[in-house]
Amino acid sequence: MNTILRLLLITLLFSVAAFGQQTGSIGGQVQDTLGAVVVGASITVVSADAKEKTATSNARGEFSVTGLAAGKYIVRVHAPNFAVYENTEVEVSAGERAELLVPLTVEGVEEQVDVSSSEGVSTDPQNNAGATVLKEKDLEALPDDPDELEAALQALAGPSSGPNGGQIYIDGFTGGRLPPKEAIREIRINQNPFSAEYDRLGFGRIEILTKPGADKFRGNAFFNFNDESLNSRNPFAPNRAASQMRFFGGNVSGPIQKGKSSFFLDINNRDVDNNTIVNAIILDPALNPVSFRQEFQIPNRRFSFSPRFDFALNDKNTLVARYSFEKSSVENQGIGGTSLPSRAYETNNREHELRLTETMIVNPTTINETRFEYSWEKREQEGDNSIPTVNVAEAFVGGGAQIGLSFNQSNTWELQNYTTTSAGKNSAHSLKFGVRLRGVDITDRSESNFGGTFSFPGAQEIRNPAGCNPEIPPCTIVEPAISPLAQYQGRILGNPGPRYFPNQFRITTGGLEQDVSRFDVGLFATDDWRVSPGLTLSFGLRYENQTNVSDNLNIAPRFSFAWSPGAGGARAPKTVIRGGFGMFYERFSENLTLNALRFGGGEGSQLDLVVSANETNPVRLAAALALLQQSVFTVDGVTNVPTAAQILAALPQSNSIRQVDPDLKIPVMSQWALGVERQLPWRTTLGAFYIGSRTSNVLRARNINAPICSLEMQAVPGGCNNAPRPDPSKGNINEYEANGTLDQNRLMINIRSAFRPGFNLFANYSLGFARGDTDGSGTFPAYSYDLDSEFGRSSSDIRHNFVIGGNFSLPWGISASPFIIASSGRPFNITRGSDINGDLQFTERPTFGELGAACTRWGVTASYCDVAGEDPNAIIPRNFGEAPSYFAVNLRLSKNIGFGKTIENTRAGGGNAGGQGGGGMGGFGGGGRGGRGGGGGGGGRRGGGGGGMFGGDTARKPYNLNLGISFNNIFNTVNLGTPVGNIASGRFGQSTAIAGGFGGFGGGGGGGGTGSANRRIELQARFSW
């Protein structure tokens, strides 16, 4: 790897010497009237003195003619079976590139169709109406903060297929942090869903392309501001707490040597003093339950610096180099919700990233692209672990942060080599093949839970006869239920009953550092076969393998088609039918391997010691209760905490092991889709798609040595006493397995319209159904030996999701950019809150009768409390609850003030400013991003004038001041978070916080999160030149 890095750096350094005279160029893409690219077209450029230069369109229909002196040129394009195209008014300026989008009509047809200015449908596998492409004005509707931007993009992509959702690519690379919005040229969502070029699913995939250098010196500076005076109060906060956000930065770009090299430099700084809300119930000095609501400031600092350089090494080779540095810190993490101020810890993060992309035109029909990325990141965390944590379920979490002095340092690298070419008569086959290699090395130091954690989950009521329904006599409640807070209160008061003891004490000890690495490889080949003007077939095959698991036969076939009935004339088709099928493999994360190494019981590992009041062996139960009883609790903390030595002496085999199933199979999804696209009047396109998928080998965690106690016996108090373990010589063994399933069905409808200048719209709606028996590697079943009962709604089963955005011109030169989100609530699990079967997990679910009684007891009237007609003794399904729905209207208003003499747009023949890269909007099939000079991402080919969904201006002022105001949740709608699902808690069914993110997508924004305000107003100013 070091040798490769040195060679690439040497290439970068020597490329600076490849500067030539100040000339311009002409480039672009050749398409037919259906929007499909034309490969092998002959391009002739004629100067005023009758000198000619020629080129041939490549496998993506692209061409480039360089070394042209400034002046006017004639461009002619010839291709078999097409009429000759001629443009006599192409202006070339020194150091600039004139972009052409060449529409070829069928030979013999005189009508000329300007496809550059239409938003039609196409059989091109790179161009489907189901994809969303955002650039230029489109981006104005999105948040400026990178964390919130990521959440908004995930909301726009909609609920993703598969257990792990979609993936984000930045300039063709997986992983990495989102760049600032000012550095983004284009965003593509849900394109090429069945392309073998990608390992992960296309539906939900987000591709981000950064800006290259400019042909002239230009730049901008911006400043965004917000404080509490502009916000509304969080409904869970007693006051509107002081807060402030200052987000400023800018970028500058220009030529290093005109026509040969350019640069783009971006610098950003974000200082956020946000607030988090603690909404807990604690005990006062008199041991009375009291509400504790208070705001605490969370200082968040982030600085980023990123230069990019684009070099034209010669007529056939280009090189793009991008380096980024980011430094961030967050104080008072760990506070919020029910977590008290004593739980605060600090995080510091540093990241260096280098990306290199070299593109070579091998011959007129073949392009080879090599990409390399290296990233170094270190995250440090520090928090108090000298005192135990006390977790009183759904009431409060107090004590230490249990972080200590920890860090995670990673070195990751990625190497890609992709080749695009064409074959067959009239280059009917567009071929792409390549390989991707990735590696990661991690050193992780952890002092997590070295101080220990006590858990008070509450206690269930005891009935006679056991498991009876109180509403159906004879049924007597022998002992009432005890809430978690009452259980904790009773322990402070010294109640000797075991039901008032903490249910569990857990403490970690042992080695601090652990190393892990992972390597994976992916190979693919695709063939986009243009059978006829109205039919395109795309075939693909991908192979993947990785270390750390034994499953290595990961072969993924892909197929798709696009058919336009009646296509073949000069007019663009009005209807396109698309479909496809593909298999997709997930990767087994190195973080799971790290956990298995850390707690696997090997040399240098840690011990995860657990003292449980739910031991099924009477001898061990007596020892556990003695240890749990020895600790002394007060409202100020806990003393006389059991030590690791005491636990090991009293409870041998108390260490909880983690391991990976040696026969683990990689999760694999089979996905199919069928859709129709229709071109409507007024430059409006409508698409409707059905997407179905089934995922096998979904990950879960399971205690494979848990006591064997049937569900019937679990309903009887003490029914699990003397329940045997499969291996009595060992304790609990938590294993990562891959035996889950996930079934998903989804209807997607999208529309985009630009029916008149100054009015542009995009909207996506999805109706989804998702059912499975696990939600991933962190999901434990309610009972380790009954996985069939786990099948129910998936946590990603969002029934309805609707996103609408746009950009509209208002009077007085004001531009409005709305971004509206509406979605159904996410499912959540309802649990008893206690560990009945002794597997150390609080995942047991109640019966319908117990749920109905809890709803009555706590006054909950949600839809999941309507259990009439259900068997009262039947256990409720997994994820039976549903959180409240989400609705928010976000709006940005801006006014641009231009200064100086008007500059006319120099681009000829439509096209766009997206650079020279290939690839378009994507579709069901092959295609790809790799294009010359695209920075590993290629350039879009959609839209006239300025390109993009919303087009662009044909003239601009040299100096512009843009003043804006952004409203997040302008109508101050209260969107409640996921309710408490523990029926033993007095807060069962209550939301204790507002929903984060954008309808539950993303994390709610790192710096501009919504924790301290329900509505947020941000002032923005940007100066560009």
d(CA 353, CA 324): 5
CA distance 753 to 684: 4
Range in 162-171, 302-311, 334-343 the model is least confident about: 162-171
Could you tell me if 660 and 593 are in contact, meaning their C-beta atoms sit under 8 angstroms apart? yes
Residue of higher predicted confidence among 1001 and 969: 969
Question: Letter for the amino acid at 667?
Answer: P
User: Using one digit for the tens of pLDDT, what is the confidence trace for 355-413?
Assistant: 999 989 888 788 899 999 999 999 999 999 999 999 999 999 999 999 999 999 999 99
> Encoding tokens for residue 37?
């690219």
pLDDT, one tens digit per residue, over 589-641 is 999 999 999 999 888 899 999 999 999 889 999 999 999 999 999 999 999 99
Question: What is the SS3 assignment for 597?
Answer: helix
Of how many residues is the chain composed? 1025
**Quick one: pLDDT at residue 572?**
63
pTM of the model: 0.80
pLDDT digits (tens, 9 = 90+) for 120-173: 555 554 555 456 677 666 676 677 777 777 777 776 666 666 666 567 778 777
In Å, how far from its chain's centre is CA 597?
Answer: 27
| Amino acid 905: pLDDT | 46
Given this model, what pLDDT does residue 423 score?
A: 86
pLDDT averaged over every residue in the chain: 83
Q: What is the pLDDT of residue 120?
A: 53
- Residue 218: pLDDT over 80: yes
Strand pairing report for 389-392 and 814-823: unpaired
pLDDT (mean) for 261-283 = 93
Residues with Cβ within 8 Å of 355's Cβ and at least 6 positions away in sequence, in order, are: 171, 173, 320, 321, 322, 323, 371, 372, 373, 936
Query: Contact at 8 Å (CB) between 765 and 686?
Result: no
Structure-token match 């080129």, residue found: 55
Q: How many angstroms separate the Cα of 282 from the Cα of each of 76, 226, 338, 415, 870?
A: 79, 33, 9, 53, 36
pLDDT higher at 201 or 430: 430
For residues 509 and 606, the answer to whether their CB atoms sit within 8 Å is: yes
User: What is the DSSP secondary structure assignment for residue 812, as one 8-state letter?
Assistant: G
Residue 523 has φ and ψ, to the nearest 5°, of -120, 145
Strands (E), 178-335: 184-189, 206-210, 218-227, 244-257, 261-283, 289-312, 317-333
Burial class (CB in 10 A: 0-12, 13-18, 19+), 104: buried
> How far separated are the first and last CA of the chain, in Å rounded?
41
Report the DSSP beta bridge partners of residue 96: none
Of the two residues 465 and 928, the one the predictor is more confident about is 465
pLDDT at 61: 77
Q: Distance between CA 294 and CA 332 in Å, rounded?
A: 14
Identify which of 157, 125, 132 has the alpha carbon closest to the alpha carbon of residue 924. 125
pLDDT recorded at residue 726: 95
Q: Token pair for residue 149?
A: 């931007």
Q: Please, which residues bridge with residue 290 across strands?
A: 282
Give the least confident one: 84-93, 332-341, 343-352.
Answer: 84-93
DSSP string, 773-811: S--STTPPPSSTT--GGG-EE-TT--SEEEEEEEEEEEG
Which residue type is seen at 213?
Answer: G
Contact present, 140 and 895 (Cβ < 8 Å) = no
Which helix (H) or strand (E) segment holds residue 153: the answer is: helix 146-157
The region of weakest confidence among 173-182, 384-393, 1010-1019 is 173-182
DSSP codes of every residue in 69-119: PSEEEEEEEE-TTBPPEEEEEEEE-TT-EEEEEEEEPBTT------GGG--
- What SS3 state is found at 368? strand
If one compares 653 and 22, the residue with the highest pLDDT of the two is: 653
Average pLDDT estimate for 253-279: 90
List 887's β-bridge partners, or say none. 822
Residue with more model confidence, 1001 or 871: 871
- C-alpha count within 13 angstroms, C-beta hemisphere, residue 667: 30
Dihedral-angle region of residue 146 (phi above 0 means left; psi in -120 to 50 means alpha; beta otherwise): alpha
Look at residues 361, 292, 275, 77 and name the one whose alpha carbon lies nearest to residue 933. Answer: 361
Residue 55 · residue 39 · CB < 8 Å: no
- φ and ψ of 182, to 5 deg: -65, -20
For residue 923, what pLDDT band results from cuts at 50, 70 and 90?
Answer: very low
Q: Is the peptide bond before 480 cis (omega within 30 degrees of 0)?
A: no
3-state SS class at 147? helix
Residue 701: pLDDT over 80: yes
For residue 650, what pLDDT is reported? 95
